[in-house]
Chains A and B, each alone.
Chain A
Amino acid sequence: MLSEIEKTMDIIRNSDVKLIALFRIDGVPIIVKTIERTQRILNSIYWLQRQIKDFLNQIFIGDLDDLKFKSGDLIIGIYPISKTLALIVITSDEISLYKLESDIESICLKIRDMV
């Protein structure tokens, strides 16, 4: 199943998508795929590990579809897969977000079917 999820996550890989990851609610990254292996991406992963539980709580308490932050030239998106899993996508701010959002929705639907 993990390899199927990995393949699904690969669909949106390109140079503007810096990181795609599947995180568990307790902060454990299950799958992490990075294009850019730099300190700032590493820092983002550490930060997300600590925050993911709060983010998922906020999403479910607030009945939100997802959460998005902008940090420097990066956009960090948190998309709930289930009560305990979240897809994280970090992109550069040059990307056409409106199309990517639709593709991320398709990926979330596929992963939800698998888990």
Chain B
Amino acid sequence: MSEDKGYGMISVVYTPYSKFDEIVRDLEKKLKLDFEPEFFFLFLTESTWKDYKKILEYLKKKFPNCKMAGCIVEGYITDEIWMRGLAIVFFEHGVNVFWAKDKNTTKTFEILKNKIGTKYSSVITIFPMFYFSSRFDVLKLFANDRLYWFKYKRVKNLEDKLKILDSYSKKLESKYVFPVNKALRIFDGNFPVIGMNLMPLEAGYGTPLIIANYKNIGRGAVAVCFKGKTNAIFYDVFPERGKSFEETIEVIKNYFPNVELVDVIKKGVTIAEVNNVAPVEFLKRKLYKGIAGEEEVLSRLEKGKLSMVSPYGLAFISRNTLGCSCLGLLPYPLNIYSSLFDLDIFYDKAIFLGERIKGGIHSFGEIFENKLYSDTFDIFMIDSNTIMMFGKGVHKIKNFAQQNCKEFFGIFTLCPSFRLSNLIKAYFSEIEKGLCFNSSGTSTMLEIKNLRL
């Protein structure tokens, strides 16, 4: 039995089963809501997203008048933790959904921002950081990479090199990448925007999947908007950033292992050189690591098994805030490396480093200590890198939630981002004023106090 606990009726239903008939059998038993939901949030996992059409059809029959949004996540946390099956969060009222899709990041998010307006207290926006639409598009990516690398190598002066990178960056942005900071920058920070910038730990064609009102929107952006009284929290596990470039470098040196200062040639979302060689070549020389061939990448994408995480990366320091964001370096056959955030606001000196989380999984529990209310329904997002780093140790997050939340629902998704003008501290990952993003170590939470209109 659900009861109204002050924040309105919210109910979580989940099934860890993966086959469609098993899912339906399990959901039939569990989908007994005491209220008529106005909105539901569907979270599919690696084991169920391919059946999304059948699942949506089933849910549409069950809830024909309900608005919905959905996406793929790595796992979810309720009274159990599962990396398979699906979970649904039902809301009685106070939640709305909008979506937008246009040529590039700025246009897409401007449309989305206009649709959202100003009457919501918090927003969760879902968009793909990198979209793997089809084999053809990935082949085109390889071909363009070779073409632009050829053009890049022919020119000698930096200005011409940057022009070529700029043109390639625009191409990448129009087809594959939604740079996180460019997307969130569109919002003015008057109300909190939590960014679910999706990127699966293991990518396949058609990932990441994003759904709005029973429709796969492909490479677009969705906003789930909450009315009433809510509180959004951001947390990163790193120490506060420095007050100068040198100080932030010192913070990085003290925190991460294998730190090395490098010179980078970059523009937009592209990186062409790290210490005078292509980024992937730099990684190869540094770690004696084999680089996967194009065929191998395509075949892994076919199986949905292309790993998108790396324990090594480049940390960039922001000219605006002296905050820092890391970009994982993957051993894939690209000459010009694609970034997941706009690099124009960062210094040309970066730091090559190895990944590390001091305090282990316990450091992710600290977000719960920043809660404002004790009687809320909490939706939290934990960086899915934790699954790779701590394995079954992620079960401790459930204990943190049980100790600190009245009711909760958590998901594992890659490095959630955040936009709000007034942040409570000088976050390491605040790379633009009121905008936080780092490719690991971040988490967010939405405390829902009251969704009454």
Binding site for B on A (CB under 8 A): 10-12, 14, 65, 94, 96, 98-106, 109-110
Contacts and interface: CB of A to CB of B under 8 A. Distances in A.
A12 B16 CA distance: 9
B387 A12 contact: no
B28 interface: no
Given A14-B47, A96-B202, A102 B18 contact: no
Contacts of B391: 98, 101-102
B18 A14 contact: yes
Given A11-B17, A96-B202, A99-B46, A106 B80 contact: yes
Contacts of A106: 16, 80-82, 395
B17 A98 contact: no
Interface of B: 16-18, 22, 46-47, 74-75, 80-85, 201-202, 305, 387-388, 391-392, 394-395
B111 to A, nearest CB: 35
Chain B CB within 10 A, most for which of A14, A65, A100, A105: A105
Contacts of B85: 11
B18 A103 contact: no
Contacts of A101: 391-392
Contacts of A104: 392
Contact of B395 (A94, A105, A110): A105
Given A14-B18, A96-B202, A102 B394 contact: yes
A49 to B, nearest CB: 26
B387 A99 contact: yes
Contacts of A103: 16, 82-84
Nearest to B17: A11
Given A14-B47, A96-B202, A102 B17 contact: no
Contacts of A102: 75, 81-83, 387, 391-392, 394-395
A105 B74 CA distance: 16
Contacts of B18: 11, 14
Nearest to B22: A10
Contacts of B305: 94, 96
A98 B81 contact: no
A99 B74 contact: yes
A11 B26 CA distance: 11
Nearest to B18: A14
B387 A98 contact: yes
Contacts of A10: 17, 22
Nearest to B391: A101
23 contacts: A14-B18, A96-B201, A96-B202, A98-B387, A99-B84, A99-B201, A100-B83, A101-B391, A101-B392, A102-B83, A102-B387, A102-B391, A102-B392, A102-B394, A103-B16, A103-B82, A104-B392, A105-B395, A106-B80, A106-B81, A106-B82, A109-B395, A110-B80
